[in-house]
Amino acid sequence: MRTLNVYLTLGAAALLALLVAATGWLLLRRPGRADSLTSLLDLADRLEGDLKTCRSGLQQAYAVMSINPDLPAAGEEDAQHAIDAGLRALLQQRLWIRDRLPHAKAHEVDEARNSLLSARERLRPLLQALSQAQTDLDSAMRDHIRRDPDA
């Protein structure tokens, strides 16, 4: 009888351990705040990269088009201010993610994600146009150099 109690106790303990392990595994597999944080920070990183790519491309384009490198070209300051404003807005979004995400409701997290995705979508055609403009400028410079090697 004593042996039967030992086996029942060991069996119950093993079953309890298995239930605890299964519950923990299910909780870890369920998407939660950590996944939301990672996703939002990844989107923020991509948007920041897009904005910095835009800044770099504009600087290169204005450098090529500039008559006097010491003076900003027409529109250069406006473009720089727009990119800086985008980076400041992104910083505000990152601060919201850091401070509010642990307590945010699901719809607030969705709004933050949608906001970042929307900003990237609006920036994408501008980056494509900038890339095309840079390609066109490079081509024009090569053509100019071929036509006038002394320039």
What's the pLDDT tens digit per position in 5-22?
A: 444 554 544 444 444 444
- 16 and 26 in a single domain? The answer is yes
**pLDDT, tens digit (0-9, with 9 covering 90-100), for 100-148:** 888 888 889 889 989 999 999 998 888 888 888 888 888 887 888 888 7
- 60 and 103 in a single domain? The answer is yes
- The amino acid that residue 87 corresponds to is L
- 15 and 40 in a single domain? The answer is no
Number of structural domains, the chain?
A: 2
32 in the Ramachandran plot: left (φ > 0), alpha (ψ -120 to 50) or beta?
beta
- 58 and 77 in a single domain? The answer is yes
- 15 and 64 in a single domain? The answer is no
- 49 and 21 in a single domain? The answer is no
Non-local (6+) Cβ contacts of 67 within 8 A are 73
- Which among 86, 76, 5, 7 has a CA at the least distance from the CA of 51? 86
b (16+ CB within 10 A) / e for 61-82: bbeeeeeeeeeebeebeebeeb
* Full domain range(s) for residue 90: 32-147
pTM (predicted TM-score): 0.66
- 141 and 101 in a single domain? The answer is yes
- 101 and 56 in a single domain? The answer is yes
Between 13 and 70, whose confidence is greater?
70
- 23 and 74 in a single domain? The answer is no
Confidence at residue 46, expressed as pLDDT on a 0 to 100 scale: 93
Between 34 and 78, whose confidence is greater?
78
